[in-house]
């Protein structure tokens, strides 16, 4: 070994400090994650909920929307966090497919149903309102938390990690929006609640280098 190589090794070894094993699934971090979720939902319910929410929560289609978004929040967050620790598993990247396929399957089914039920009718572009803006604002806090946790590890797939983290945070934003938005039109819900989730997630993978990858 040359002296240059020895210098490199001693420069690394001299900067070693005691390390504590980091897992994003520790009670401490999970507590923080769930507290953030609950805080956002409570704040959102306090600020803006639709007046007919209690009756809607007894309807199957509305409950299934809520369930879908909750599953997206958790599957996205789990993928991002689980994937932030290097593992000797070659199929790790397939984990990220779960929230993506869920989004595609769910929305594909509803879009087809919507088109069939509106066949022959004129297409009216739904009103946007402030739904997407609200979704973005609500997503900031959970996204910051998730990115902070993912960056503590070493994500072997930074683009997919960013995708999953943003998908999870944006789904939480969409959930908050969904509880307050008075529209029952699937066209509006699809365009301004569900589509932004995927668009933001895909866009974030281009910025993964800045968002996730520090190594």
Partner 1 sequence: MTARDLGNLDYNHIMAQVLDGDQEAYAVLLDSLYIMLKNRYLKRFNQPALAEDLVQEVLLTFHQAIHTFNPERDFLPWFNAVAKYKMIHYLKKQNKYNSVDIDAPLIEPQLSSPSEEHNILTRYDVDEAIKVLPEKQQELIKLVSYEGHSHQEAADKLGISVSNAKTMFHRALKKLKGEHDI
Asked if residue 1 binds partner 1 (CB under 8 A), the reply is yes
Q: Read out DSSP for 171-188?
A: HHHHHHHHHH-----HHH
If binding is defined by CB under 8 A, does position 58 make contact with partner 1?
A: no
Dihedral, CA of residue 148, residue 153, residue 159 and residue 164, to nearest 10: -60
* 156 lies in the binding site for partner 1 (CB under 8 A): yes
Among the listed residues 153, 161, 173, 196, the single contact to partner 1 using CB under 8 A = 153
Backbone dihedral region of 116: left (phi > 0), alpha (psi from -120 to 50 degrees) or beta? alpha
Out of 14, 28, 58, 123, the only residue in the binding site for partner 1 (CB under 8 A) is 14
Q: How many CB atoms lie within 10 A of CB 137?
A: 13
Residues with Cβ within 8 Å of 183's Cβ and at least 6 positions away in sequence, in order, are 126, 127, 129, 189
User: According to the binding rule CB under 8 A, does residue 20 interact with partner 1?
Assistant: yes
Question: Minimal distance in Å, beta carbon 12 to partner 1?
Answer: 5
For residue 150, give both structure tokens.
Answer: 């993912």
Binding mask 115-144 for partner 1 (x = CB under 8 A): ------------------------------
Residue number with CB closer to partner 1 (68 or 163): 163
Among 10-18, 26-34, 38-46, 165-173, which window interacts with partner 1 (CB under 8 A)? 10-18
Q: How far from the centroid of its chain's Cα atoms is residue 110's Cα? A: 21
Of 158, 164, 138, 160, nearest to 73 (Cα)?
164
Choose which of 3, 12, 46, 125 interacts with partner 1 (CB under 8 A): 12
15 contributes a contact to partner 1 by CB under 8 A: yes
Measured from the CB atom, the residue of 86 and 105 that comes closer to partner 1 is 86
Count CA atoms closer than 13 A to 70's CA, side-chain side.
Answer: 10
Q: How far is the CB of 101 from partner 1 (least distance, A)?
A: 24
Tell me how far, at minimum, the Cβ of 56 lies from partner 1, in Å: 43
Q: Which residues contact 84 (CB under 8 A, 6 or more apart)?
A: 24, 149, 150, 151, 152, 153, 154, 155, 161
**Residue numbers at the binding site for partner 1 (CB under 8 A):** 1-2, 5, 8-10, 12-23, 85-89, 152-154, 156, 215
């Amino acid at each position: 070994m040359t002296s240059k190589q020895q210098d490199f090794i001693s420069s690394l070894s001299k900067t070693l400090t005691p390390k504590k094993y980091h897992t994003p699934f520790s009670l401490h971090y999970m507590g923080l994650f769930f507290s953030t979720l609950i805080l956002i939902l409570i704040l959102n319910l306090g600020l803006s909920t639709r007046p007919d929410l209690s009756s809607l929560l007894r309807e199957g289609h509305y409950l299934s929307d809520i369930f879908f978004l909750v599953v997206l929040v958790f599957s996205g967050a789990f993928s991002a966090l689980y994937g932030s620790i290097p593992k000797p598993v070659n199929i790790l990247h397939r984990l990220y497919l779960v929230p993506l396929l869920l989004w595609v399957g769910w929305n594909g089914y509803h879009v087809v149903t919507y088109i069939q039920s509106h066949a022959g009718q004129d297409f009216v572009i739904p009103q946007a309102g402030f739904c997407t803006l609200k979704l973005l604002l609500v997503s900031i806090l959970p996204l910051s938390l998730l990115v902070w946790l993912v960056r503590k590890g070493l994500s072997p797939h930074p683009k997919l990690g960013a995708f999953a983290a943003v998908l999870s945070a944006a789904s939480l934003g969409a959930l908050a929006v969904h509880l307050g938005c008075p529209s029952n039109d699937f066209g509006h819900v699809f365009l301004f609640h569900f589509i932004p989730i995927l668009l933001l997630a895909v866009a974030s993978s281009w910025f993964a280098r800045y968002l996730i990858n520090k190594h």
